[in-house]
Homo-oligomer: A and B are copies of this chain.
Amino acid sequence: MIKVLKLNVREKEILLRSYFLSELPSSTAARIVEHVIVASHEARDPIFKQGEKADYFYTVLTGFVRVFRLSKDGREADIGIYGPGETFAEGVMFNGGIYRFCAQSAEAVTIARYEVDKIKQFASQDPAIGIALTASLSRNLDQALECVADDRLHTAPQRVANFILQNCPENANSARFRLPFQKSLLAGKLGLAPEALSRAFSALKPAGVSVHGRIIEIGDVNALRNF
């Protein structure tokens, strides 16, 4: 079920802080925001499917979106999880107008949508907009390359340790945070089966990581770095 909505103040804030719009002078960003279409989806709604005509790219406002490749035999491989303020599928601006992956809401989400044609038009008039797109793309490209490297270099526990460290408040040597989404989603993001994620958490127990539901506690952040 999709509902088209009006952008509220908090959502507008999130949009303006995204990698795409935050690069722009506020007047320009404001002008673009006026053309944004906002929609909410229930959990597990398809947002787009690979092979479909691609007229939009997206920024998440609330919730998490899962982008994945669907293989011929029906298996799915996650390619990215995008949360509030993150932009996905901007690559579509130049990929022959076809989505090359599927996207679905991992939970109830609100997402903003940019019309490719309109943004192209804006970009052809204002250099700052193309540059802002470049910033967003650079970030997603880096994340993707990082992911390839991580997959190829590290074992499951190491990848989980990396993820934990990225989500740790930097200052203290012990920390605690709450997973922003289901463990099964995290498993997919890290390229693991849910069972493997579970076992990876167990393997990190000696390194001082304890898990209760979505709460993750790290006894010794430095120890974790060397795992």
A-side binding surface: helix, strand, loop or mixed? Answer: helix
Query: Among the listed B78, B100, B137, which residue makes an inter-chain contact with A137, where contact means beta carbons less than 8 Å apart?
Result: B137
Partner among B93, B144, B191 whose Cβ is within 8 Å of the Cβ of A145: B144
Of all chain B residues, the one with the shortest Cβ separation from A152 is B77
The CB with the most chain B CB atoms within 10 A, among A90, A134, A139, A154, is that of A134
Task: Evaluate contact between B139 and A94: CB separation under 8 angstroms.
Answer: yes
Are A77 and B130 neighbours in the complex by a CB distance under 8 Å? no
| Chain B residue with the shortest CB-CB distance to A75 | B153
Flag if A149 contacts B77 (CB, 8 Å): yes
In angstroms, how far is the closest chain B Cβ from the Cβ of A116?
Answer: 11
Which residues in window 55-70 of A have CB below 8 A to B? 68-69
Counting contact residues on chain A (CB < 8 A from B), the size range is 35 or more
Query: In the complex this chain forms, how many copies of it are found?
Result: 2
Please measure, in the bound complex, the distance between the C-alpha atom of A148 and the C-alpha atom of B154, giving whole angstroms.
14
Q: Which residues of B contact A94 (CB under 8 A)?
A: 134-135, 138-139
Could you tell me if B149 and A151 are in contact, using CB atoms closer than 8 angstroms?
no
The listed residue (B69, B129, B152) touching A153 by CB distance below 8 A is: B69
A-side residues, CB < 8 A to B, are: 68-69, 71, 75, 77-80, 90-95, 100-101, 120, 123-131, 133-135, 137-142, 144-149, 151-154, 191
The 8 closest A-B pairs by CB, nearest first: A130-B130, A69-B149, A144-B144, A77-B152, A137-B137, A94-B138, A91-B138, A94-B135
